[in-house]
Every structure is written in structure tokens, then in C-alpha cells.
Structure 1
């Protein structure tokens, strides 16, 4: 059962607590921004997979074996040959691979791109909400500092 949320009027909080709240929201904003960048990078990688499938499938008309570089690690590659231009091992997550033909492999990667696009849109909405919240906090903080400065000036003029 969800607990009801209560809204707090931040204009009634002391400046120190508003600053802490601002820092917390800024950290969340930074986290969501890096998550959005990671989603965009993943989308690009899946689009590259589709492009690579198209490239290999289009070159299947030639009868010669096509040589490629096969990655063993992030920085170690060995020469290899494409055995079949219409069969691909696709990573479906957590180290599991399935063999798919070019059509189904493209469908798999496109579905992943579509999912990431939806997640990207949701995350963008959250980012906008957090940015609006941060702007509101900054406005309240500015007004608090103006009030404190005016009170200090009034005391100094007496």
C-alpha cells in the first residue's frame, strides 16, 4: 500500500535546509542526466547492430568468404570469416545468446530500440520535472537571501 505524500512549503524552511534540498535535487538531476546518456548510447549501439546486419546481408551476393575482425576483448581482435550471411548470434541479456536470421535479428534490435525510446521519453519528463523543481528551489533561496540581506541592512542602519 502506497503511503500518502505530504507537500512541504519550502518557503517556510530555513535556508540551510533549502540548500540541502537543492543539493539533493541537483544530485538526482545529475544521476538522471547520466542515465539518459547511457540510454542514448545503448540506442546507438542497437542501431549499429541493425546497420551491421544490413551490411552483411547485402554482401551475401558475393561468393567469396568475407574476412572480419572478431573481438576477443575490448582491445584484442583476431581475423575471422563469416560462415553464414543470414545467421546471427544475438545477445538477449545476462550473457545469453540466441541464433536468429537477419529479419528476426533486426526485429529483436528494433524492439530494444523502441523500448529504450519509451524509457528515454519517460526519463526526459523526469529530468524536466527535476529541472523545474530545482528552479523553484533556487527562486525560493534567492528570495530568502534577499529577505535576510534586507533584515541585515535594516539592523545595520539602526
Structure 2
């Protein structure tokens, strides 16, 4: 995410500007949270793939298995070599890898996704902190305005 670094004093802003920034922060937080969820889902799939590779080592060559074509349709197949896998590396490309290479690939992907999740989580926390500061300032200003109005009203009542 490309964000511009702009430092502005919140105390110099009017309530409409503060509300606008709060709404923008809320939208950014929602996008970041959705991104984190997508990254976690991808990480889970790579972990499941690594586990499937490990489990496959235990299946003897020549064993008959069912290979899923969809979530509810399978075809029978024979294990020719339990040390060779075809791995989807993205954008329609598949590579044949042995057990060690497949596990290394999935491990690197999980590590990369973990780092991205941590970055997005940190950025999300910064946005949440900024939003909370704006909400607190808006509440403070509202309470100050109410107190000033009550003081003004009570002074007018004492004059009459």
C-alpha cells in the first residue's frame, strides 16, 4: 500500500475535517483487515499443501488413491512415485518437484505470508490508534462545547 506521509496537527482541524479523516481511516482499516484475512487463508492453504506432501511419503508406490477433481468429484489413480509432485506456482504454471523441494517451496511461501500478515497487522494497529485519537478529540470538543453552552446558559439565567 502506498500511503503519503503527511503530518498535520489534529487540533488545527475542524470537526468536519476530523470526521472525514476518521471515515477514511475506517475504510483503510477495513481494507487492511480484509487483506489480512485473505493472506491468512492463503497461508492456511500452503500449510495444508505441505502437510499433504508429508503424508504422501507414507503411501507406498503402486497404491491406489482418489484424486479430487472438484470438491465432490474424484478419480482413481495409482501412485507411481511418492517422492514427485506437481506444484502450482501461480498464473497457470506447474513445476515438478521432489518432496524436499516441494516442502521448501511451501515453507518459503508460508514465511513470506507470515511476514506480510505481520506488516499489515502493524499498519492496521497504527490506523486504529490514529482513529481512536480522532474520536477522542471529537468527543473532547463536543464535551467542551456542551460545557461552554451550559456555562453560557447559566450566566444568562443569573443576569435575569
Distance 2:42 2:149 in 1: 53
1:147 aligns with 2:155: no
User: C-alpha deviations, 1:40-66, integer Å up to 9, x for none?
Assistant: 111111110011001111122xx5423
Q: Shift of the alpha carbon at 1:155?
A: 3.7
Which one scores higher on RCO, CA 8 angstroms, separation ≥ 6? 1
User: C-alpha deviations, 1:50-107, integer Å up to 9, x for none?
Assistant: 11001111122xx5423123224xx452222133311111111111110101110010
Contact 2:85–2:98 (CA under 8 A) maintained in structure 1: yes
Matches within 5 A, 1:57-72: 57-60=57-60, 64-72=62-70
Shift in alpha-carbon separation, 1:115–1:6, aligned structure 2, 3 A: closer
Q: How many residues align?
A: 151
Distance 2:27 2:5 in 1: 21
Shift in alpha-carbon separation, 1:124–1:5, aligned structure 2, 3 A: closer
Contact 2:62–2:80 (CA under 8 A) maintained in structure 1: no
Q: Secondary structure at the match of 2:59?
A: helix
Q: Which runs of 5+ in 2 are unaligned?
A: none
Distance 1:69 1:97 in 2: 17
For the pair shown, which has the larger CA radius of gyration, 1 or 2? Answer: 2
RMSD over aligned Cα atoms: 1.8
1:106 aligns with 2:103: yes
Counterpart for residue 31 of structure 1: 31
Q: Which runs of 5+ in 1 are unaligned?
A: none
- After the TM superposition, list the runs of 4 or more consecutive aligned residues in structure 1 that deviate by more than 6 angstroms: none
1:40 aligns with 2:40: yes
User: C-alpha deviations, 1:126-145, integer Å up to 9, x for none?
Assistant: 11111111111111111111
Distance 2:96 2:62 in 1: 23
TM superposition score normalised by structure 2:
0.85
Distance 1:144 1:87 in 2: 66
Counterpart for residue 14 of structure 1: 14
